[in-house]
Copies of this chain bind each other. A is one copy, B any other.
């Protein structure tokens, strides 16, 4: 049950590939069709337009996100929940990095997608808040309750625009998986000053873990 993709799915997959490789803006419906060796008319049989494709891709992204993030409140340690969360978010960020590379632009062109995105982000914020609260209650983070929500927003901003930041900093080199993982280190730096003495070794440990991932020459995952 590996192959046998219907044309519709092939269009979605090819779009993700091309968008990631050349930027969403630079890839037209004709390019996608040509890349697949099908006619533009055929593409338009399956999708109303490019936005329609983008909406399908976003749906797929959301499904993956939901399925990979561990349900909160199970027996695991609070810091493990954080690590799981960072893993999932940054891996998906890499697989769909075209989306993060031009987020405001993409959303500005499709109100319906923007609304959907916004709704999802509301859930994301709550998830982050939950994780922070757990870390606070576990004595890992010494973070004033009053600052918690604002701090969650800061994390979210940092994560969301990490790819964009990378792109603005380096006109020449294209981003790779390793550079994306450096974003995790930036997030951990945000946590560091709030870490209790007790938790500092564990944070350090996490830091070293992601340091290694970030240093590896990127070897494309088997996506």
Q: In the bound complex, what is the Cα–Cα distance between A86 and B101 (angstroms)?
A: 26
A23: Cβ under 8 A from any B Cβ = yes
Chain B residues with CB under 8 Å of A165's CB are: 153, 156-157, 160-161
Q: In the bound complex, what is the Cα–Cα distance between A161 and B167 (angstroms)?
A: 12
- Listed residue (A25, A104, A107, A156) with the most chain B CB atoms within 10 angstroms of its CB: A104
Chain B residues with CB under 8 Å of A103's CB are: 164, 168
Contact with B along A86-109 (1 / 0, CB 8 A): 000000000000000111110110
Mark the stretch among A27-35, A72-80, A110-118, A213-221 that contacts chain B. Answer: A110-118
Chain B residues with CB under 8 Å of A67's CB are: none
Chain B residues with CB under 8 Å of A150's CB are: 185-186, 189
Q: How far is the CB of A121 from chain B (nearest CB, A)?
A: 7
Q: Within the complex, which residue of B114, B143, B161, B170 is in contact with A161, where a contact is CB–CB below 8 Å?
A: B161
Mark the stretch among A3-11, A39-47, A48-56, A190-198 that contacts chain B. Answer: A190-198
What is the interface of chain A mostly: helix, strand, loop, or mixed? helix
Chain B residues with CB under 8 Å of A162's CB are: 157
A121 and B186 within 8 A (CB):
no
Chain B residues with CB under 8 Å of A105's CB are: 25, 102, 104-105
B158 and A108 within 8 A (CB):
no
A153 and B186 within 8 A (CB):
yes
Residue of B whose beta carbon sits closest to that of A157: B165
* In the complex, chain A residues 155-186 whose Cβ is within 8 Å of any chain B Cβ: 156-158, 160-162, 164-165, 167-171, 185-186
Q: Within the complex, which residue of B104, B117, B151, B171 is in contact with A114, where a contact is CB–CB below 8 Å?
A: B171
Interface residues of A (CB under 8 A from B): 23, 25, 101-105, 107-108, 111, 114-115, 117-118, 121, 143, 147, 150-151, 153-154, 156-158, 160-162, 164-165, 167-171, 185-186, 189-190, 192-194
Q: Given A107-B168, A151-B189, A154-B186, list of 20 further CB < 8 A pairs?
A: A23-B108, A25-B108, A103-B168, A104-B168, A107-B167, A107-B171, A108-B167, A111-B171, A114-B168, A117-B168, A118-B168, A143-B193, A147-B192, A157-B158, A157-B161, A157-B165, A160-B165, A161-B165, A193-B193, A193-B194
